[in-house]
Structure 1
Amino acid sequence: MKSTYVMKSVFARSFALGIASLLVFALIASLVGWRRIAWFDDRVIAAVQGRESDAVTSVMKFFSFIGSTAPVVVLTAAAMLVLYVLLKHRGELLFFAGVVVGSALLNVVLKLAFRRDRPTLHRLAEEAGYSFPSGHSMAAFSLYGVLVFLLWKHADARWARLLLVALGLGITVMIGISRIYLGVHYPSDVIGGYMASCAWLALCIAFYRRRPRQ
């Protein structure tokens, strides 16, 4: 009975978080579509890019790189290999793959739906494609979010769990900030990407915990 109650509680909280994130994404997407968010983007860009220096640029380029396709694919493949070969957790493997691949596909669909052009002023890097929502931000949130979730279940010590959350959150936030700093994304692209992936991840967790045997 206690186990069933816990599963229902996790489902309810995850589902609620997913819906809340979806609503926030819908608000940001509406403001982007109506061109009513420039006031926010301009202020955040000025604050972030106002910290420009050679050292900061090197750090930001590093975080932008680890959020790019090649490192994400390598880390994803490595995690899937560990889950399948070493741990034999095939249910977790399918869940992990569903979150990461689903997030990538969702990003493609959303970019094509909004077709927002990228910023053109003060670029420190070049990037092709549409701007909203940020693919780096969505990939980072989904990948590190699902890794933290899976590792959390196997970490008993409180300090280990706090470290996992801090590392996952820190890397994800820095990847998003790096995209603003380098001038290839608006802040609303990054936050929209976080919200889209948070909604996707939370809903995946809700239904994964709802039917743990499947």
Structure 2
Amino acid sequence: MLFKENNHRKGLAIFYLVAFFLLEILIITNNSVIFSIDHSIQNILGTAVSPFNTKIFSIITFLGSPVMDTFYLVLMMILFFKFKQRDASLWTGYILIGGNIISYLIKITVKRQRPLDKIIPASGFSFPSGHVFGTMLVIMTIIFLILPSLKKQSTRWIINGILIIWVIIVAISRVYLRGHFPSDVIGSALLAGAWWQCSKLLYFRYYDSLVKLLKLNNY
């Protein structure tokens, strides 16, 4: 099996789901507290705007874009399959396709407009952030499916720290460039956590059936 049993998994899934839907409701109802927090953070980052920072954050936002996140995940799928880890490859594909569908459906349902005065062009709706959502899926795949194969725990911790910092930087880049509100990127992180944990619950529930159906034991 890809994952170990965890008694806290259902609780984590509920926490992420509840937190996400509460935030979504606050955004849909144009809650004044969310509005105030969003604009306060935007104003703080606005003081850091410069041609150099804009260039750096533009590169970061490209590397964390949905197109690049899809590329990273597809590449991992291919590598998993090549190294006879068919179950990991299928899981990665499922997470990618299912996650993108859910994120898109939420976007067109909430229909939140993007911030004004965007520094670089951005189309579509604002909530949730596809950049942060996709980056979270990439990073969780690396942390839970790739890093456990590393023998040195210190190496795993260092890479974990780098990956977490990368998510934060991508999130900051989206707010700095005014492609998203801060609440958009927070919502994306919560949605990614909810999707990952709920997918794990489904994985444990239907693992035996999937093994027989897809003959995963042969790999």
Matched residue, 2:103: 107
Does 2:43 correspond to 1:46?
A: yes
Contact (CA 8 Å) 1:45, 1:181: kept in 2 or not? yes
Deviation track 1:19-56 (CA, whole Å, cap 9, x = no partner) reads 11111111110110110120110111112222122222
TM-score, with structure 2 as normaliser: 0.87
Matched residue, 2:177: 182
Look up the SS of the partner of 2:72 in the other structure: helix
Does 2:154 correspond to 1:159?
A: yes
Aligned counterparts of 1:103 and 1:184: Cα–Cα separation in 2: 20
Structure 1 window deviating more from structure 2 (150-159 vs 193-202): it is: 150-159
Matched residue, 1:55: 52
**One-letter identity of the residue aligned with 2:140:** G
Aligned counterparts of 1:101 and 1:144: Cα–Cα separation in 2: 16
1:94 to 90, 94, 108: 90
TM-score, with structure 1 as normaliser: 0.89
Aligned counterparts of 1:177 and 1:190: Cα–Cα separation in 2: 9
Residue ranges of structure 1 left out of the alignment (5+ in a row): none
What does residue range 19-98 of structure 1 map to in structure 2 within 5 Å? 19-36=14-31, 37-85=34-82, 87-98=83-94
Contact (CA 8 Å) 2:74, 2:93: kept in 1 or not? no
**One-letter identity of the residue aligned with 1:127:** A
1:201 to 170, 174, 196: 196
Deviation track 1:138-178 (CA, whole Å, cap 9, x = no partner) reads 11111211221101321232112212311221221111111
Aligned counterparts of 2:92 and 2:11: Cα–Cα separation in 1: 21
Choose between structure 1 and 2 for higher RCO, CA contacts under 8 A separated by at least 6 residues.
1
How many residues align structurally?
A: 206
1:139 to 134, 140, 143: 134
- The list of structure 1 runs, each at least 4 consecutive aligned residues, that deviate by more than 4 angstroms after superposition, is 209-213
Aligned counterparts of 1:165 and 1:204: Cα–Cα separation in 2: 21
Residue ranges of structure 2 left out of the alignment (5+ in a row): 212-219
Q: Percent same amino acid at aligned positions? A: 23
